[in-house]
Amino acid sequence: MSSQPIKTDLPWDTLASERIFENPWFALQQDQVRTHTGAEITYTYMQHPGVVAVVPVTADGQIVLIRQYRHTVKDWCWEIPMGGYDEDNSELVARKELLEEAGGVCQDLKYIAAFSAANGVGNIRCEVYLATGVELGSSQPETGELIEVAAKPRSEVMRMTRNGEITCGPSALALFLCEQHFPDR
């Protein structure tokens, strides 16, 4: 017996859709929607091209974190290299962000998983890559980014992650998702 999809058709209909704000990084979309109950509602959400996040592991098994100032939360956050989808494919974005934010190049790059960062208010898709055999040079941050780079033992980084010290949610989730794929040393 072949398995059947549980759901086939979309339960909500989009009756109209208007872009009410746009900048180079995201847009705000306002949809008129008929829900499964027949109710008509206005649903406004962020349309985003998506991001690629890279968990960088060095040849001697350290994980490379970056510490970045974030204007949205007025705070410094421990993160992994991550950037908006602005290339032909996500592997290119991963290599570019690893180089720009951490000054790193890698021997191997492996796709791990993808998730939505905030599916109630936007379609921000985050693709996770594990980069191994990473060698660090000097970071080349974009204008507007304020970043420090720190390579730390894997056990220390996963302790920080489990204890909630990695307050950038997508970075923390990417580290958890990569944990079972880390190289043996």
- Contacts with its own copies, 78-97, as mask; x by CB under 8 A: ----x-x-------------
Distances (CA, A) of 93 to 62, 114, 162: 22, 14, 27
Q: 46 and 124 in contact (C-beta within 8 Å)?
A: yes
SS3 137: coil
Residue from 64, 94, 102, 124 in contact with its own copies (CB under 8 A): 124
Smallest distance, its own copies to C-beta of residue 21, A: 6
Closest listed residue to residue 89, CA positions, set 131, 126, 52, 133: 52
Q: How many of the other CB atoms lie within 10 Å of CB of 23? A: 7
Residue from 32, 49, 61, 76 in contact with its own copies (CB under 8 A): 76
Site residues, its own copies (CB under 8 A): 6-7, 10-12, 14, 20-21, 23, 25-26, 28, 31, 33, 35-37, 39, 41-46, 48, 51, 69-74, 76-77, 82, 84, 112-126, 143-144, 146, 162-164, 166-170, 172-173, 176-177, 180
